């Protein structure tokens, strides 16, 4: 990755890549991933309607995708940037409030879902996919869902080859 990018640009690229790879890992299709700044947000990962494969729990899947951005950004940058993820966290809170009763239950559910998103990023090939997608975002600002899927599949194949000693 070139070093001419600011820490904020790198953080945003990994944040959006995190949303994308968690979505792809959970069977959702990605429409587009962008780090093109607009007045509402620094970047965006658009999820396609429909699914690549059946999903057991749509609300949990959405929470994990939302946390995927924060988890990937944190893994790369070293700190939880709660301010940068404020919009995602608001959406997570709305979803967790529909699942849990009291405040402690909500916070416990959110911690468990963030842990699960971090665990997903640790799976073979998933972090490599996040790195590759972030690199492409830094170079091109926007990539198609097809390109994100290709990078994800390449990283998964690379991890599989490494596990099998190839």
- The predicted structure's pLDDT at residue 161: 74
Please name the residue that has the structure tokens 């996040």: 130
CA atoms within 13 A on the CB side of 67: 24
Structure tokens at 2: 């070139």
- The predicted structure's pLDDT at residue 53: 65
Domains of the chain: 7-163 (1.20.58.760)
In angstroms, the Cα distances linking 84 to 74, 80, 101, 153, 155 are: 11, 9, 27, 28, 27
- The predicted structure's pLDDT at residue 148: 96
- The predicted structure's pLDDT at residue 52: 59
Burial group, residue 142, by CB count within 10 angstroms (0-12, 13-18, 19+): middle
Per-residue pLDDT tens digits of the chain, which is 166 residues long: 446 899 999 999 999 999 999 999 999 999 999 998 776 667 888 887 766 566 788 899 999 999 999 999 999 999 998 888 889 999 999 999 988 789 999 999 999 999 999 999 999 899 999 999 999 999 999 999 999 999 999 999 988 777 777 6
In angstroms, the Cα distances linking 11 to 8, 21, 64, 105, 132 are: 5, 15, 18, 30, 14
* 46 bridge partner residues: 32
Q: List alpha helices for 47-144, DSSP H.
A: 58-77, 86-97, 103-121, 126-140
Give the Cα separation of 55 and 60 in Å (integer): 10
């Amino acid at each position: 990755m070139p070093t001419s990018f600011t820490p904020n640009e790198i953080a945003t690229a990994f944040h959006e890549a995190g949303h994308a790879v968690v979505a792809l890992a959970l069977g959702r299709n990605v429409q587009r991933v962008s780090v093109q700044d607009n007045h509402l947000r620094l970047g965006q990962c658009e999820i396609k309607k429909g699914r690549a494969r059946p999903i057991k729990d749509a609300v949990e899947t959405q929470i994990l995708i939302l946390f995927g951005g924060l988890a990937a950004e944190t893994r790369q940058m070293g700190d939880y940037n709660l301010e940068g993820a404020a919009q995602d966290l608001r959406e997570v809170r709305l979803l967790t409030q529909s699942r849990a009763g009291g405040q402690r239950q909500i916070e416990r559910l959110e911690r468990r879902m963030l842990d699960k998103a971090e665990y997903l990023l640790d799976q073979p090939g998933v972090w490599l996919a996040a790195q590759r997608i972030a690199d492409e975002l830094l170079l091109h600002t926007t990539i198609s869902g097809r390109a994100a899927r290709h990078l994800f599949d390449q990283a998964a194949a690379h991890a599989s080859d490494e596990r099998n000693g190839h």
